[in-house]
Amino acid sequence: MNGPQNRQEKRQERRQDKRLRTSGHPDFGRLIRDEATDTVVCHVCGQAFRSLGAHVRAHGMTAAEYRQEFGLMRTRALNARSLSQQQSRTRRAGYRESQDAQAHFAAGRAMARSGELSRRRWDAYRERTDPEELRQARRGNLSDGRRTQARAADSRMAAALRAMGFADLGQALRTVYVDQENSVEETARILAVGKRRVRRLLLEHGIQLRPSGQNSAAGRRSRVATNDRAAAERVGARDITSWLRERTADGATLRELAAATGRSIPWVAARIGPR
């Protein structure tokens, strides 16, 4: 009476034991490819095939179970690249030639456009553990993105240093931040980098950051210039003072000008000057 249940339990125990062993496989979370022969290699026996889907049955697994055992994405094709490309071309051609296939996928396209497909996908992801391959892919993409952003930032800063005639970064930081007493924000703008990076670079070059709230004459001028520049960019003007005076002459009120520039009424009045 308990025979089928015992067999099921033993099967689950064997699968669990195998999962514990295979999770330490050196290629866990990666489909092993032999690029020279355009084949994929079985994690279990090491043999190479054009497709592993049928072969893994010899090891007592379905393709889905094989992916789970070795940390592969559930959508990972267990095929050689050329075979996957050939199958993809065949499916696309069949789809284009079949009105029934297009009608069959119409509901899915509508769900994709409405966002329902994405919502269902993320709901399903929250209910299960991501395979190792997917986690590795995400980490790799994140690292690649950070390296790309860092290279772009380095390129912008190098161009700014060349344009200002600085020989090196340390000289630029000491001149702009220390000698000229610019704020961190203005220094970041001049060197074409972010404020956080400026703070880090200053410390790396042995330059002490000024205490928060310590204002210098140059720092105040720097903040005034930054605010004026932001207001001018907001309204599309070259000189914010001239723009404000022209709009005042046309009958604009201080409240209207403050709303347009995103600044306060006293700030607008100070830029316009006595009337």
Q: Per residue in 23-46, pLDDT tens?
A: 557 788 888 898 889 999 999 898
Residue 217 has a pLDDT of 65
Mean pLDDT, the chain, as a whole number?
Answer: 82
Encoded amino acid at 215, one letter = N
Q: Is the dihedral of CA 7, 12, 15, 21 positive or negative?
A: negative
Q: Is 269 in contact with 242 (CB distance < 8 Å)?
A: no
Residue 1 has a pLDDT of 46
CATH of span 13-83: 1.10.10
Q: Is 131 in contact with 30 (CB distance < 8 Å)?
A: no
Residue 20 has a pLDDT of 47
Rounded CA separation 176/156 (Å) = 17
Higher pLDDT, 6 or 258: 258
pTM of the model: 0.39
| DSSP bridge pairs for 40 | 33, 49
Q: Where are the domains of the chain?
A: 13-83, 138-204, 226-272
**49-93, pLDDT tens digit by residue?**
999 988 999 988 899 889 888 888 888 889 999 988 888 888 888
